[in-house]
Amino acid sequence: MRVKTGFSRKRAHKKVLKQAKGYRMTKRRLIKVAKEALLHAGVYAYAGRKQKKQEQRKLWITRINGALTDTGLSYSNFVKAMKDKNIELDRKVLAQIIKEDPEAFKKIVEEVKG
């Protein structure tokens, strides 16, 4: 007996169109175009997750460097001095300290300098 793909195809198409909701023009209406758009969206999302980490790291470094301008130290010299003194604070924690407790950061800088 011949079985047509009516229901299963309709369900699959409905799923694709539901995922493509919010897209513009034919990308939200036509199955082939929507599928292609979803494939690209996945690629962009994957790349974006990697870029997000890079952007965060850049932001932390910028904040640390900005806070160091008053002290006369450059970022690279500060990081090297921290390694020499065996102070194991990562960039994320340093940026949080700068944002929430600048006095504590000044103490860390004095420790690194002295």
* pTM score of the predicted model: 0.73
Report whether pLDDT(26) > 90: yes
pLDDT score recorded for residue 70? 86
Query: Across the chain, what does the average pLDDT equal?
Result: 92
Angular region, 73: left φ>0, alpha ψ -120 to 50, beta rest: beta
Burial class (CB in 10 A: 0-12, 13-18, 19+), 22: exposed
**Alpha-helix residue ranges (DSSP H) falling in the chain:** 6-19, 31-68, 75-84, 91-100, 102-113
pLDDT score recorded for residue 14? 95
| Domains of the chain, first to last | 6-113 (1.10.1900.20)
pLDDT score recorded for residue 42? 95
